[in-house]
Amino acid sequence: MKNTTMPINCPACCTEQVFKICPSIDVQKNPDLKEGIFNRDIFRFICPECGEEILVAYNCTYIDRDNNFMVALVTDGDTASVETSNYTLRIVRSINEFVEKIALMEDGIDDRIVELYKIMLEDQFEEERQGVELLGIYYGGQDFENKSLVFYIITGNAENVRAILSFDTYETIAKQFDTYPEMTKHCSEINRIWAIGTLQSGFSEDS
């Protein structure tokens, strides 16, 4: 793990402080940091002057050598500094995406399928819950008892809606990807924009 610091101005008291960050995390060498990612502690700044607490996004790369993947949180738009070697790379732009992507990769879930499913959920939600603001949809883990993947829909009225994707449906979509163009496997930013573009390119019609 590489530790460094960055200056930060507290938004509450406006004092300049020093924030300790972890720009690179090798989970095999520093397994204790995994919890700090999922509870957001590695991004949590608490002002020593006034006690203000905020989350600060910064460039951070998560490396899992056992599962051969990397997830890079890139906040400045520059991806040139991310060295992938033979790893599967995913680039994200927010803390929530960073946490979710790591969870998906560790669970062995194809994030392409997840992003496509999220668009379906989004359309369904907007049709059924007109007027309710949708803030985001996030993977919540596997429900082995009910043979499904769990998702949480975050709304503007603080109501969290639970949705599921059955393992059978997941496998059906996964088989469709077996004949989908190889270029999708090498795209590093698999997100909502990617999913919309994929659907518009005719994935559902060609599969």
More confident residue, 197 or 150: 150
In the block, residue with structure tokens 């998906």: 104
Segment 25-38, tens digit of pLDDT: 999 999 999 999 99
Ramachandran quadrant class, 51 (left: phi over 0; alpha: psi -120 to 50; beta: rest) = left
- Could you give phi then psi for residue 40, rounded to 5 degrees? 70, 10
Segment 36-73, tens digit of pLDDT: 999 999 999 999 999 999 999 999 999 999 999 999 99
Q: What is the pLDDT of residue 185?
A: 57
Sign, CA torsion 81/85/90/94: negative
Residue extents of the structural domains in the chain: 2-107, 111-206
More confident residue, 83 or 129: 129
